[in-house]
């Protein structure tokens, strides 16, 4: 990825073993760049980091209100959950409340990443279903919007009213016409934008008001829902959940596949977006942790921060074998 800068390095035996390069942008309340590393104009697929953008039409259309959705459900609509019982039970009830069922989802099936849920299926001799998909909350939101719009069942098609509404909101809040889309792991279109556009969108969420216009109120509610229910946005041991807990509900963050990460910081009126060029999750987690510390909303000594940014690497015997460092170009 052109003009990406080295951000995170791994050292072993006094030698550089691995290096992760990327792009990162902080945008302020006016949508302009506050700080940037790499190329702010680099075009990326935001993947699941854009789920709060995809959820805007759910509220703006009146569908969420008509269905009586709770803030917990809205948090789940922005989630990349790990298929724990807390997630799958809520999706099952949500679909039941809509008069729908698992087969109405279009997200596909994979094994839950939650170990107790995975082991429970194996021991019972059962296979996972679409409700275990990490995007089933988002798709429940899509189905809620789709029922409100009285549209056809193939809601993941790019020309479907649900996805047209998502694209319109995405382009308006990023401030950019999307140059195209790819199909995400859950089969929904994922609209491309620049790293700056994604950070600009997060800054919009960070400055959203409970008393603003319809979109502003929707963004405000989604941000607070995510921050209030970090366990629904990801799950135990996951970076999104642990870091949001560490910040006491003051900040909403969201990861996306292939090492994208975003943050919404209302008290600073700042939005952050980053992309690690090689898709390395460990580097994305280290980078977002560093930027949250830099923004003054995360304690560098908190265990959740040290877990992602602690310098020492240990092997299975507990021996210190190396260290992970931020580069001078990124930490300066």
Here the CATH number for the domain that contains residue 230 is 3.40.710
Residue 213: inside a domain? yes
Residue 249: inside a domain? yes
Do 60 and 218 contact (CB within 8 A), yes or no? yes
pLDDT (0 to 100) of residue 310: 79
Give the pairing type, strands 270-276 and 193-194: unpaired
> What is the pLDDT confidence band of residue 1, given thresholds at 50, 70 and 90?
low
Neighbours of 321 (CB within 10 A): 14
Domain count, the chain: 1
What is the extent of the structural domain holding 208? 25-311
**DSSP state letters, 144-164:** HHHHHHT--S-TTSTTSHHHH
Residue 117: inside a domain? yes
pTM, two decimals, is: 0.96
Residues pairing with 273 in the sheet: 25, 262
pLDDT digits (tens, 9 = 90+) for 180-238: 999 999 999 999 999 999 999 999 999 999 999 999 999 999 999 999 999 999 999 99
Question: Is the pLDDT reported for residue 332 higher than 80?
Answer: no
Residue 325: inside a domain? no
Distance between CA 119 and CA 114 in Å, rounded?
9
Residue 195: inside a domain? yes
Residue 316: inside a domain? no
Distance between CA 187 and CA 30 in Å, rounded?
34
User: Given CA atoms 248, 251, 256, 260 in this order, what sign does their dihedral have?
Assistant: negative
Phi, psi (degrees; rounded to nearest 5) at 255: -95, 165
Return mean pLDDT, the chain. 97
pLDDT above 90 covers a percentage of the chain that reads 97
- Give residues with Cβ within 8 angstroms of 156, minimum separation 6: 106, 142, 163, 186, 187, 188, 189
**CA distances in angstroms from 124 to 75, 102, 121, 132, listed in the order given:** 30, 19, 5, 15
Dmax (CA) for the chain in angstroms is: 62
Buried (b) or exposed (e) across 282-302, using 16+ Cβ within 10 A?
Answer: bbbbbbbbbbbbebebbeeeb
pLDDT digits (tens, 9 = 90+) for 248-298: 999 999 999 999 999 999 999 999 999 999 999 999 999 999 999 999 999
Residue 5: inside a domain? no
> What is the pLDDT confidence band of residue 41, given thresholds at 50, 70 and 90?
very high
Q: At what angle do helices 214-228 and 161-174 cross, to 10 degrees?
A: 90
Nearest to 225 by CA among 81, 29, 73, 112: 73
Residue 328: inside a domain? no
pLDDT digits (tens, 9 = 90+) for 302-318: 999 999 997 789 999 99
Neighbours of 136 (CB within 10 A): 30
């Amino acid at each position: 990825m052109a003009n990406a800068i080295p951000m995170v390095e791994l050292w072993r035996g006094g030698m550089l073993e691995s290096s992760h390069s990327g792009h990162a942008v902080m945008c302020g309340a006016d949508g302009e760049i506050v700080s940037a590393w790499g190329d702010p104009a680099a075009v990326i697929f935001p993947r699941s980091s854009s789920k709060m953008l995809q959820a805007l039409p759910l509220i703006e259309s009146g569908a969420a209100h008509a269905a009586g959705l709770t803030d917990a459900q809205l948090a789940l609509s922005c989630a990349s959950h790990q298929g724990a019982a807390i997630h799958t039970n809520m999706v099952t009830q949500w679909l039941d409340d809509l008069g729908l069922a698992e087969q109405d989802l279009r997200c596909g099936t994979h094994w839950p990443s939650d170990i107790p849920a995975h082991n429970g299926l194996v021991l019972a001799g059962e296979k996972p279903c679409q409700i275990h998909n990490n995007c089933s909350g988002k798709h429940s939101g899509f189905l809620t919007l789709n029922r409100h719009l009285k549209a056809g069942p193939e809601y993941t098609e790019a020309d479907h009213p649900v996805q047209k509404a998502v694209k319109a909101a995405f382009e308006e809040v990023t401030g950019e016409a999307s140059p195209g889309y790819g199909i995400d792991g859950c089969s929904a279109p994922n609209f491309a934008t620049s790293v700056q556009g994604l950070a600009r969108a997060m800054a919009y969420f960070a400055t959203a008001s409970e008393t603003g216009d319809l979109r502003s109120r929707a963004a405000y509610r989604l941000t607070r829902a995510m921050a209030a229910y970090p366990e629904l946005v990801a799950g135990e041991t996951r970076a999104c959940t642990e870091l949001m807990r560490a910040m006491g509900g003051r900040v909403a963050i969201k990861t996306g596949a292939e090492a994208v990460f975003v943050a919404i910081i209302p008290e600073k009126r700042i939005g952050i977006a980053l992309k690690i060029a090689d898709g390395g999750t460990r580097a994305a987690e280290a980078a977002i942790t560093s930027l949250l510390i830099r923004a003054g909303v995360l304690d560098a000594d908190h265990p959740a921060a040290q877990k992602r940014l602690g310098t020492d690497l240990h092997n299975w015997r507990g021996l210190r074998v190396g260290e992970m460092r931020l580069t001078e170009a990124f930490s300066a």
